[in-house]
Structure 1
Amino acid sequence: MPGSLVGGRVLNNLSEAAVHPPAIRTEHLSKRYGSLLALDDLDLTVDAGEVFGFLGPNGAGKSTTIRLLLGLARPTAGQAWIFGTAAADVATAHQRLAYVPADVTLWPQLTGAEILELLGATGPGVDVAYRDELVDRFALDLSKPGRAYSTGNRQKVALIAAFATRAPLLVLDEPTAGLDPLMEREFRRAVNEARDTGSTVFLSSHQLAEVEAVCDRVGILRAGRLVEVATIPELRRLHRTEVLVRFAGPVPELTGVAGIDGVQVDGAALRFTLTGPPGPALRALAGADLTTLTMREPTLEEIFLDYYGEGSR
């Protein structure tokens, strides 16, 4: 039987491809609540070992997607798999994942230490030494009862419990809510450590700087539909770069140069936006007497707002 070409290698469809399935795969995944189509025909693949950012505002369908991946809701159409296991098979799929919800609720009477022990006993396993290290790094007081924890400390408990499982898949829904900047830095460090040990991280977030800092790829969800999946550098190449050039001599004529738009001349300074490869623009500028050339790539936030029609194009 012929194989398929994946990443430059020929895989036997019945052997290696089956042994190494993606961490998450969905086909035509849809969810309707009455007249509301919350998720519309989602086709998504998240490779094992990558950190994948899932972006979208409230109501875009992110939480619905996560509920379907966790088997907490039944799809109206389509399917989802976790490492090749149907997401609907919760008992099997959850042996290989850990989940941090957006709103963490703890047992009010149990101390932090008791909660971590309970979660460690009921989850896919726990690396006790790493858990103890994370408790120190996140500066969590384990002697307090759950009812005494602030929002940020409840989030710390859930994050420590999840990372300490060393689970092959971590599903994190708005995981840094309530964390201060120092703890956000520890979170990013823990995500990188999870990637380094081979875990997959599926990160749903509004924190665009966070996604930009840790993710390998991002998916942008809009009104229940996936509108883009790309690496962050690829996303930036799809959008315009701002260029500022200053000259000691005459300002060159750039009309009609491929990729250049929005040219503005201000004395010896020239501003324009650049889309696509910079070669034609650089060739047009090569004969001029340049003194400075500055290029500013769009941030992930600007790209994100572009997809929602709220940014300047």
Structure 2
Amino acid sequence: MILDVQHLKKNFGKVHALTDVNLQLHSGEVLGFIGPNGAGKSTTIRAILGLIKETSGSVTVFGEDAWKDSVKIHKNLAYVPGDVYLWPNLTGGQTIDMLLRMSGQKHTEKTDDLIKEFKLDTSKKNRTYSKGNRQKVALIAACSTDVDLYIFDEPTSGLDPLNELIFQQRVAELKEQGKSVLLSSHILSEVEKMCDTISIIREGKVIETGSLESMQHLTRNVVAVKTASPVDGLDKTEGVHQLTFKNDQHTIAEFTVDSDKIGAVMEILTKCTILQLKTTPPTLEDLFLRYYHSDNGQKVGE
């Protein structure tokens, strides 16, 4: 077990920032940690990094206590925050080299490859960099290091889509090398592409953990179908929701269906002779919005 967070609670005075956070990250695994801004992702990561002490519960990294053994733990992890602040009078290249030296690492050919991939002008001073370029400096330094755990907290904030893709490819390479990655994000497509396991945090509590496949039973497939003869009985079939017919003959229909009821629905459709069929599996966004459905109509997440 690379990371083990058990019943983590953190209070700031009377504010309960974290009420019950449980996370487990194994070797060679990419764990997606998702939730909207303010849900408790960064506070959890600060506890994992040993920057704040838990109110109760436990956080261990490499089997060591995250608070008491933080110096030892930091020798074997790389971290990129969502908003990077750099020394204004150093160049990007000087900063990358300094970050590597501080981690006991060296500037290697891999570092040069990353600089080329991200198209970073390392001769410019940090104070001239945009937010995206500051992120690139931190990502290049982190991905150049050879450690067992990589923690990324909203790492692609400020990056364009091409650089996001480069980051995703680098995470895939880390996974192939048996490294472990904790990726905190509110960009659902990013998590869906890269992560083996997903943990959803809401109001300081982890409310669901599992693979996307294992959680898809909680959401519904969208079905669009055209049949030769009228479809009757779907409205009375268990697991079918939001049924609408697109013609008076009832041969063109759209509906959603619970994943575990697809078999029964297909039996009904087959009897009507299917001419066209399109099914769309549930996405992480479907699952996420289910948990974050807001009664007051407020848009949550992204």
TM-score where L is the length of structure 1:
0.89
Q: Counterparts in 2 of 1:23-102, with a 5 A limit?
A: 23-88=2-67, 89-102=69-82
1:296 aligns with 2:276: no
SS at match of 2:259: coil
- How many pairs are equivalent? 291
Q: Structure 1: how far apart are the matches of 2:155 and 2:274?
A: 47
Q: Counterparts in 2 of 1:137-286, with a 5 A limit?
A: 137-267=117-247, 268-277=251-260, 278-286=262-270
Corresponding residue number in structure 1 for 2:112: 132
Stretches of structure 1 lacking an aligned partner (at least 5 in a row): 1-21
8 Å contact kept, 1:257–1:284: no
Output one character per residue of 1:47-102: Cα deviation in whole Å (capped at 9) or x when no partner. 11111111111111101100000000010001101111111111111111100011
- Counterpart AA for 1:147: R
Corresponding residue number in structure 1 for 2:300: none
* Worse-superposed segment, 129-138 or 275-284: 275-284
SS at match of 2:271: coil
- Percent of aligned pairs sharing the same letter: 42
SS at match of 1:286: helix
Q: Structure 2: how far apart are the matches of 1:300 and 1:28?
A: 25
Corresponding residue number in structure 2 for 1:12: none
Q: Structure 1: how far apart are the matches of 2:72 and 2:215?
A: 35
Please tell me the root mean square deviation across aligned C-alpha atoms, in Å.
1.7
Corresponding residue number in structure 2 for 1:305: 289
8 Å contact kept, 2:118–2:163: yes
- Counterpart AA for 2:263: G
Q: Structure 1: how far apart are the matches of 2:228 and 2:191?
A: 41
- Counterpart AA for 1:246: K
TM-score where L is the length of structure 2:
0.92
SS at match of 1:179: coil
8 Å contact kept, 1:98–1:124: no
Q: Structure 2: how far apart are the matches of 1:262 and 1:209?
A: 25
Shift of 1:310: 4.4
SS at match of 2:24: strand
- Counterpart AA for 2:242: G
